[in-house]
């Protein structure tokens, strides 16, 4: 979020407060195999080195297994597969982005995603983001397909991913 000054009091306040207008959101562009994810900074808990996950019996191909992160067992997914695409088998340079889930579900507080490379900061404002009119048809777990400063990016549906994982865990 960007901040603005309340001219009546001179105080700085986050623009999400009542009466304030958000003019930009600080996000991360997260590289995948041939695609980019766009997430608000607050959605990303941490990016860590790739480690082989512990497999989960009878899991769908997009659920790669579980990894240990800060004393939490976190489901590791291939976003490419979860969204109807295919993921490359090359793990060279791979990392794991641990994402905060949205619904305060104690059974799925985090979801980990295999990423390629290092995410980078992107400030997104109304004049830097547009609908991607050339986007492929609706994809599972993709909330939107947009252009940020002309670059095609996917906005993941974290709610959908969380629900899909919770349903596999029987929750």
Domains of the chain, by residue range, sit at 27-126+158-168
Q: Find all residues with CB under 8 Å of 59, minimum gap 6, and list them.
A: 65, 168
Contact 161, 141 (CB under 8 A): yes
Contact 26, 41 (CB under 8 A): yes
Split at pLDDT 50, 70, 90, the class of 16 is low
Above 80 in pLDDT, residue 12?
no
pLDDT of residue 10: 43
pTM: 0.84
Task: Pinpoint the alpha helices (H) of the chain.
Answer: 79-82, 158-168
34: which DSSP letter?
Answer: S
Nearest-angstrom CA–CA distance, 170 and 6: 48
Tell me the mean pLDDT in the region 61-77. Answer: 97
Percentages of the chain per state (helix, strand, coil), in multiples of 5: 10, 45, 45
What are the φ and ψ backbone dihedral angles of 167, each rounded to 5 degrees?
-65, -35
Tell me the mean pLDDT in the region 51-76. Answer: 96
pLDDT of residue 89: 64
Q: What is the mean pLDDT of the chain?
A: 87
Pick the CATH number of 27-126+158-168 from 2.40.50.180, 3.40.50.1820, 3.40.1190.20, 1.10.260.40: 2.40.50.180
């Amino acid at each position: 979020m960007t901040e603005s000054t309340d001219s009546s009091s001179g105080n700085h306040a986050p623009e999400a407060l009542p009466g304030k207008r958000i003019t930009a959101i600080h996000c991360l562009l997260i590289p995948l195999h041939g695609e980019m994810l766009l997430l608000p900074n607050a959605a990303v808990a941490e990016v860590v080195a790739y480690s082989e996950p512990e497999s989960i019996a009878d899991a769908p191909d997009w659920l790669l297994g579980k990894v240990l992160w800060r004393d939490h067992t976190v489901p590791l997914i291939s976003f490419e597969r979860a969204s109807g695409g295919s993921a490359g088998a090359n793990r060279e340079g791979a990392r794991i982005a641990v994402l905060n889930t949205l619904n305060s579900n104690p059974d799925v507080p985090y979801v980990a995603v295999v990423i390629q490379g290092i995410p980078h900061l992107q400030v997104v404002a109304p004049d830097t983001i547009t609908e991607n009119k050339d986007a492929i048809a609706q994809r599972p777990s993709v909330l939107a397909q947009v252009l940020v400063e002309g670059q095609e990016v996917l906005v993941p549906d974290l709610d959908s991913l969380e629900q899909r994982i919770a349903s596999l865990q029987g929750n």
